[in-house]
Amino acid sequence: MATIPLEIDNTQDDPRHRAPLVTGDHDLGTLTETVSRVAEAPRAPLAWYVAFTISAGLTIMLGGLIGYLIMTGVGVWGVNNPVAWGFAIINFVFWVGIGHAGTLISAILFLFRQHWRTGINRFAEAMTIFAVICAGMFPGIHVGRAWLAYWMFPLPNQMAMWPQFRSPLLWDVFAVGTYFTVSLLFWYVGLIPDLATFRDRAKTRVKQIVYGIFALGWNGSMRHWHRYERAYLILAALATPLVLSVHSVVSFDFAVAQLPGWHTTIFPPYFVAGAIFSGFGMVVTLAVPARELFGLKHIITMRHLDNMNKIILATGSIVGYAYSIEFFIAWYGAIPEERFAFISRAFGPYAWAYWIMFSCNAFVPQLFWFRKIRTSIPAMFIISLLVNVGMWFERYVIVVTSLSSDFLPSSWGPYVPTWVDAAMLVGSFGLFFTFFLLFCRYLPMVAMAEVKAVMPHTLKRSAHGDGHAGGAA
């Protein structure tokens, strides 16, 4: 068996050798052991308990604030007339965007046969699901009378009142609902073989039963794998256009309105690029501490991080281009309101937010042109945090600047968030990390079955003719 030292630099592309996707001297058994150990350890690392306590506390705070909001009314937020969207919609778009990287990794990179995706796809998909849960919460409580949120769905009722299907807000309901369902299915289908691994390794009866129920009786049958792989491919092919559609539809919420600064055709591609950008920022933010904490450095290697940083660089540049072309079109379009909207974005009362957005999203990722920075753990961690700060401010700039000053100066008004707004944003991070930490502790963080198929010695063996009945001794 070829020995691959841990210290190998697999970020170099040498055409004579395929760079290994898993470093260290791993075979199938040690890989299973490394991944399963995280969930099987009787005690999690201390950092996990600290993080979980904080996150769970913030989640409880979020629950309390939602109760306060519903009992009191949306007046506890800073929303007003004209800025009726505020933090809730900013957070919604932010969290939906975060989710996109997970689907991109699991679906689009799968279709492109990017084998390095296998190391990170599981927790990126988990991130997608938890981010979409955070996202879906905000419109639900933003509707004012949250107990009537079910009116968003086409349910038969005695009033014969149906949703208005010509509205982008309703398309959102279908797009986000479908996105969540498909992401969950995709994630779960991928989990089935790994849950079976946990079931077969379980030391206690309870674990065996619980993992056993969710593993559905998986036994690695090749006849099952055959249909499983076909289903996985179909899901990837479905999720690819879906992920592009979801943020396009989210962008329609803005682009279909006639407000200056919103009514532009560049929004769908620009939103999708921004979503992938922010999502990869979040994946790096999560992957860097997770691989340290749970000893997954051989599986989530420097090459994985390097590749993700390259995607951040590419999508960040697309986003920077979109910011610039928006300005150009505002000038070229010669519509006074449009010109005003963009000048006031960059130099008006919200200029501070605009320049945070512009520098974090367009300038900072340019540092990734340097290989030293792409492969530096502290640098990429800080940049990934800045990317998410920048992307949150992008949504802030879009929502607040356009709403606060539209066509009619007499209806202009400033937006000032309240402490409830800020605490709910923080609380949504608490909810996200609570889910994520539970996932790290109790579910396979790495898609073991998929990684096994792309391990160096597996690939090598399948390259040397299969089918020779060589004795395994």
Q: Give the footprint of another protein on residues 155-214 (CB under 8 A).
A: 156-168, 170-171, 174-175, 177-178, 181-182, 185-186, 188-189, 193-194, 196-197, 199-201, 212-213
63-102 mask for another protein (x: CB under 8 A)? Answer: ----------------------------------------
The region of 2-10, 152-160, 266-274, 337-345 touching another protein under the rule CB under 8 A is 152-160
Q: Which of 229, 289, 370, 416 binds another protein (CB under 8 A)?
A: 229
- Closest to another protein by CB, 308 vs 448, is 448
Q: Is the dihedral of CA 165, 169, 170, 171 positive or negative?
A: positive
- Is 349 a binding residue for another protein by CB under 8 A? The answer is no
The region of 97-105, 245-253, 289-297, 376-384 touching another protein under the rule CB under 8 A is 245-253
Q: Which of 3, 16, 17, 29 binds another protein (CB under 8 A)?
A: 29
Running DSSP on this structure, what letter comes out for residue 149? G
**b/e map 144-172, b = 16+ CB within 10 Å:** eeeeeeeebeeeeeeeeeeeeeeebebbb
Nearest distance, CB of residue 168 and another protein, angstroms? 8
Query: 235: which 2 tokens?
Result: 């899901």
| Contact status, residue 144 vs residue 74, Cβ threshold 8 Å | yes
Nearest distance, CB of residue 271 and another protein, angstroms? 14
- Closest to another protein by CB, 228 vs 396, is 228
| Contact status, residue 88 vs residue 138, Cβ threshold 8 Å | yes
- Closest to another protein by CB, 53 vs 157, is 157
Give me the helices (H) in 23-167, please.
Answer: 28-40, 46-72, 86-103, 109-111, 117-142
Q: Which of 21, 90, 126, 235 binds another protein (CB under 8 A)?
A: 235
- Is 458 a binding residue for another protein by CB under 8 A? The answer is yes
For 158, residues 6+ apart whose C-beta sits below 8 A from its C-beta are none
Q: Which of 53, 72, 114, 221 binds another protein (CB under 8 A)?
A: 221
410-449 mask for another protein (x: CB under 8 A)? Answer: --------------------------------------xx
220 vs 340: CA distance, rounded Å: 62
Nearest distance, CB of residue 257 and another protein, angstroms? 13
The region of 40-48, 219-227, 306-314, 432-440 touching another protein under the rule CB under 8 A is 219-227
Say how many residues touch another protein, by CB under 8 A: 82
Nearest distance, CB of residue 298 and another protein, angstroms? 16
105 vs 355: CA distance, rounded Å: 30
- Closest to another protein by CB, 19 vs 454, is 454
Running DSSP on this structure, what letter comes out for residue 295? T
- Closest to another protein by CB, 179 vs 340, is 179
- Is 38 a binding residue for another protein by CB under 8 A? The answer is no
Query: 92: which 2 tokens?
Result: 């919604």
| Contact status, residue 393 vs residue 360, Cβ threshold 8 Å | yes
110 burial via Cβ count (<10 Å: 0-12, 13-18, 19+): buried
Cα dist. 215→203, 286, 338 in Å?
Answer: 16, 26, 55
Nearest distance, CB of residue 464 and another protein, angstroms? 9
How far apart are the two ends of the chain, measured CA to CA in Å? 15
Nearest distance, CB of residue 135 and another protein, angstroms? 16
375 vs 361: CA distance, rounded Å: 19
- Is 111 a binding residue for another protein by CB under 8 A? The answer is no
